């Protein structure tokens, strides 16, 4: 069981869609550029009951809309280290999508440098390995109209409801451009150390920004179990879409791995084996 103080339950850095004080494992979910905890709101209903979903809430969005967003990686990670504090103890795992994958990875590296408990698993999606150069032109310094057009050409990532509302778009753009600044100014600092926890990589089969070989390139960052899975869809294959089963397949894959982590941490072998087989095998 993970200890939870009253202060941690009211932490401004996370949103718990379904608080579970008796959870055996926490899954911290890091959003992609421009997004917030709402992306992961329904995940708590589709993952093992022993897992508490903790969606990361960065400044500049949702309940923290009035706060200035970060524009570079190092201060963002330092803010997370201080803001999450004692929550990063006991059993926990990270999931990050696109920019969120890099944030999760760099936070894990910072925790390792400090000698603190590490996540038991890293789930990363739609992000090329950090040492691979991105040769595309940066977007974050473009004028607003050109920025919006370029983001739509590259990712089709701005929801129509925002694009069609000038006031919403004006509220949304500063955070999105700040997040792109974090992504586009990021430079991987070489480190000879490798992690030992499992890495699971996921991507959209038709995502031109993250081909399978760019996901496979994460293999060198861990000596533990490593896997790559691709699903139908583009960069945002994880979004709920009635025409695609990709979101459901992703959550099934994550649930399967989390059940194995729970089993390894002291659950019932019979229950854990049955759960793993029910999800498609080990």
Q: Looking at 4, 55, 98, 126, which residue is catalytic?
A: 98
Between the alpha carbon of residue 91 and those of residues 47, 104, 142, 209, the distances in Å are: 15, 16, 42, 32
Strand partners, 25: 51
**Pairing of the two strands 14-15 and 51-56:** antiparallel
φ/ψ of 106, rounded to 5, equals -70, -35
Between the alpha carbon of residue 135 and those of residues 122, 186, 212, 258, the distances in Å are: 26, 13, 17, 35
- Confirm whether 55 is a catalytic residue: no
CB of 98 within 8 A of CB of 127?
A: yes
Enzyme catalytic residues: 98
């Amino acid at each position: 069981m993970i200890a939870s103080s009253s202060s941690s339950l009211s932490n401004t850095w996370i949103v718990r869609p379904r608080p579970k004080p008796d959870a055996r494992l926490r899954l911290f979910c890091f959003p992609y550029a421009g997004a917030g905890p709402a992306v992961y709101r329904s995940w708590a209903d589709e993952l093992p009951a022993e897992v508490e979903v903790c969606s990361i809430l960065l400044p500049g969005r949702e309940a923290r809309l009035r706060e200035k967003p970060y524009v570079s990686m190092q201060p963002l990670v330092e803010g997370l280290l201080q803001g999450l504090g004692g929550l990063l103890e006991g059993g926990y795992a990270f999931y990050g999508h696109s920019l969120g994958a890099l944030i999760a990875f760099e936070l894990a590296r910072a925790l390792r440098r400090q000698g603190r408990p590490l996540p038991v698993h890293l789930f990363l999606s739609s992000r090329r390995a950090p040492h691979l150069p991105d040769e595309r032109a940066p977007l974050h310094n473009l004028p607003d109209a050109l920025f919006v057009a370029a983001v739509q050409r590259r990712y089709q990532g701005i929801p129509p409801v925002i694009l069609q509302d000038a006031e919403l778009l004006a509220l949304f753009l500063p955070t999105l451009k700040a997040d792109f600044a974090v992504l586009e100014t990021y430079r991987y600092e070489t480190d000879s150390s490798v992690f030992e926890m499992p890495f699971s990589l996921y991507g959209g089969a038709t995502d031109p920004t993250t081909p399978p070989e760019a996901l496979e390139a994460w293999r060198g960052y861990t000596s533990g179990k490593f896997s790559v899975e691709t699903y139908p869809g583009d960069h945002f294959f994880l979004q709920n879409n009635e025409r695609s089963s990709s979101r459901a397949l992703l959550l099934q894959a994550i649930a399967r791995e989390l059940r194995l982590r729970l089993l390894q941490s002291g659950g019932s072998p019979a229950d854990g084996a049955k759960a793993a087989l029910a999800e498609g095998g080990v």
